Amino acid sequence: MTRVDVGDEAGSPVVIVTGAAGQIGSAIADALAERYAHLVLVDLAAATLEAQVHALAGLTEIVSVAVDATATGAAGDVFDAAIERFGRVDAIVNNAGAEGPIAHLEDVDVEEVRRLFEINVFALLAFSAEAVRRFRPQGRGRIVNMASGAGLAGSAGMAAYSASKHAVVGLTRSLAREVADAGIQVNAVCPGCVDSPMMERIETRLGELAGTGPASFVPSIPAGRYCDPAEVGELVAWLALEAPAYVNGSTQVIDGALRA
């Protein structure tokens, strides 16, 4: 694997990853580390984050920041930590997210939805805004937002989650138009069903709503399987480090032809 510099001749690119301790976040960090990116890994789960740092220590340089991405000022603190260690930031992956309440809409607790939007939308917005502040002066930078196939179509029983991911897609498209002339790329990744603990929770809860056992989407996926988290990691790393500069404002779908 050759090193990718994202427009800087001095050394490895520097990438922030939020939600880095989760299964998809870990796969993203792995894919970036394999490309010799320096990493700033952000997550509330400090112990899991530190285990991940130790696992990747032989591949690249890493800063870990154990913080709630929804906390006021978290975005600025993370960027400050990155710049203090590495001198700059080249890209950010807004991966922190949650599935929120899975229920018929009339049974949804609005306070749970507010918390879901704090994680999936408002934290992402805050980190993206901070990224733009830091990227404009350097004339380049990449923002990769984790959306979902649920952000492109409806999902019964998951109205809150789907609404939050539609918001991510809309934010991505609008921000890309706003900052393309500053040399900043903003793209979204829309995974379908990913083999992960979150998917297991969703299957269980949807099965409960239907009065059956755990639901499985595999029969409806032309590829005949769920996505491996490493496949998502590869796509995200491509957008963060390798994609042509003209790839901007896109929603990159990875779903085994589910919505083809």
Cβ proximity of 119 and 70 under 8 Å:
yes
- Mark whether 36 is an active-site residue: no
**Which residue out of 36, 161, 226, 246 is catalytically annotated?**
161
Q: How far is CA 84 from CA 26, 137, 163, in A?
A: 23, 17, 36
Q: How far is CA 90 from the centre of its chain?
A: 16
Count CB atoms within 10 A of the CB of residue 168: 25
- Return the structure tokens found at 227: 């996505």
Alpha carbon separation from 105 to 1, 204, 206, 207 (Å, rounded): 47, 18, 13, 16
How far apart CA 197 and CA 205 sit, in angstroms, is 12
| Largest separation between any pair of C-alpha atoms in the chain | 58
Is 42 within 8 Å of 16 (Cβ atoms)?
yes
Catalytic site positions: 161
